[in-house]
Chain A
Amino acid sequence: MRNNHGLAAALVALSMTVAGCAEVQRASEDIARQSGNPRLAGAIHGVGNVVGSLFPIGYEEESSIGQAMALQVVARYGGVVDQPELVRYVNLVGRAVANTSDRPDIPYRVAILEHESINAFAAPAGYIFVTRGLLKQVRNEAELAAVLGHEIAHVSQKHILDVIQRSKRLAGVTEAGLSYATSNPAAFKSVIDGAVKKLLDEGLDQDKETEADTIGEVFATRVGYDAEAYVNLLTRLRDLKGDDRALFKTHPNFSARIEAVQKTIQSKHLVATGVLLPERFARMTKRV
């Protein structure tokens, strides 16, 4: 009798899970458990997880990943700047760009990292970081909007989630790590540490960086910021750091990035509106 129940539950679970019916899968799992077969219940649960791992990561899971990664970014970069007016300003620019991005329906927050290096990062679910060092290199609001547009594009294109899902090693952990983030924190930590290493130490792949440059440029110009602003900033950073000293060895060099952005400006007919807002930027960032 137990076996019959178990077999039925297993068959229903397999067929319905493959068909994409999570409710039935859970019901089958309950039947197996109630019929006194915890191992079968576990197996059915496992089938659901394996099949589930083939689907995209939902926002709630993305939010957990983003928040945990944000913790590590803040810890590694010396904490965040606590200057309410400045923080509010960079968030206003970020929100202005994000609200007409391709993914305006999630919250975006920008924090300034207490670090003199020139850098910016984005963790999933809209956690965006710029360093104090980068803000010192920016000359107007249009340039800041372009930097934030680049980071918002990483979020809207789900670049980090893609890295997590694509990596074979992490994919196995993703299934367990996200399902059991609370009961198996070691697995979750492994997912986060791998993603943070990619973000902070190795850098994302060239095609993702180029995509973020070009899409971010579109986001910033949609709000009306001058299309040439990002080219000017990248050119200044190239002059400062040298073309071979891009942020990561995996990144395209500055010349390639500038060329890609210029091509986007031409192909999409993006306009040099003249809207740079250097005075507002100077007023709001005088204490950087």
Chain B
Amino acid sequence: MSSGLEGEEAVIPPRVTRVVLIVLWIGLLAWSAESWAETVYVQAKTAQLRVGKTSLDAVVGNVKFGDALEVVGRDGSWVEVKTSAGARGWIFANKTSSSKPSGTNDTLAKLGQSMRGSDASATTASAGARGLDKASEGYANRAGVSARDRDAVDRMTAYQIPDQEVEEFLREGGLGEYAK
């Protein structure tokens, strides 16, 4: 009889346990949120980290699309960040995003492509460094696209401008981080 009573005293009612657990959980969440630093992601093909918050400041590092950066501070159009490798510098705010960009070929798209087993994008054997891919060449043949128009799309596909020249173009126009 007495041992039964002792047993009852030792048991914590389940409701109390639940409340304690919820309080602990909320506390843990609040602590975690405090300790997490703000992260931004590179929302540009490439971007430079600079010593200071102007485009005239020296470049201390380069980052690329999708890279995660820890925010150290903000000032106007610039964000001071730290890379996972520990490099620290200022990046133009318009080249960052608070949400992680999905990227062009996400896992689902790759999986789907793998299942469909498409090899349509392989370029034709005669194409060399550039050329229409097999599917497009087949299409051009069936649709009767002229050699002139095929060549136009071929040249369009191969058309490239180095990133550095785009950067120079922005600088000349006072665009992006080169705004006057």
Q: Which residues of A contact B (CB under 8 A)?
A: 17, 20, 22, 25-26, 45, 48-49, 51-61, 63-64, 67-68, 70-72, 74-75, 79-80, 87-88, 91-92, 95-96, 98-100, 102-107, 109, 111, 127, 141, 175, 178-179, 181-182, 185-186, 188-189, 192-193, 222-225, 273, 275, 277, 280
Chain B hits for A182, CB < 8 A:
119-120, 134-135, 138
Q: Do the beta carbons of A104 and B109 come within 8 Å of each other?
A: no
Contact yes or no, B109 A48, CB < 8 A: no
Give the CA-CA distance A49 to B101 in the complex, in Å. Answer: 28
Question: Would you call A51 and B115 a contact (CB within 8 A)?
Answer: yes
- Min Cβ gap B91→A in Å is 12
Interface residues of B (CB under 8 A from A): 43-46, 65-66, 94-95, 101, 103-106, 108-121, 132-136, 138-143, 145-146, 148-150, 152-153, 156-157, 159-161, 163, 165-166, 169-170, 172-176, 179
- Nearest-neighbor residue (CB-CB) of A81 within chain B: B152
How near does chain A come to B92, taking the closest CB pair, in angstroms?
A: 9
B116 partner residues in chain A, CB cutoff 8 A: 48-49, 52-53, 61, 175, 178-179
Chain B residues contacting A141 (CB-CB under 8 Å) are 173
Interface SS of chain B: helix
Q: What is the bound-complex CA distance between A98 and B176, given in angstroms?
A: 12
Q: How far is the CA of A175 from the CA of B112 in the complex (A)?
A: 10
Q: Which residues of B contact A181 (CB under 8 A)?
A: 118, 120, 134-135, 138
Contacts of B108 in A (CB 8 A): 55-56
- How far apart are A241's CB and chain B's nearest CB, in angstroms? 28
CB distance from B175 to the nearest CB of A (A): 5
- Which of A20, A71, A178 is within 8 Å of B150, CB to CB? A71
- For the complex, would chain A's binding face be called helix, strand, loop or mixed by DSSP majority? helix
Q: Are A178 and B106 in contact (CB under 8 A)?
A: no
CB distance from B129 to the nearest CB of A (A): 15
Q: Indicate whether A25 sits within 8 Å of B115 (C-beta atoms), given known contacts A70-B153, A79-B152, A275-B179.
A: yes
Q: Is the CB of B149 within 8 A of A48?
A: no
Question: How far, in angstroms, from A103 to B143 measured CA to CA in the complex?
Answer: 31
Complexed CA–CA distance, A67 and B115 (Å)? 22
6 nearest CB pairs, A to B: A55-B112, A52-B115, A181-B120, A58-B113, A181-B135, A60-B121
Contact B145 A80 (CB under 8 A): no
Complex Cα distance, B145 from A192, in Å, reads 13
CB contacts (< 8 Å) of B46 on chain A: these are 99
Residue from B45, B136, B172 within 8 A of A67 (CB atoms)? B136
Closest B residue to A73 using CB positions = B153
8 contacts between A and B (CB under 8 A): A48-B116, A51-B115, A56-B108, A74-B149, A96-B170, A96-B175, A275-B179, A280-B172
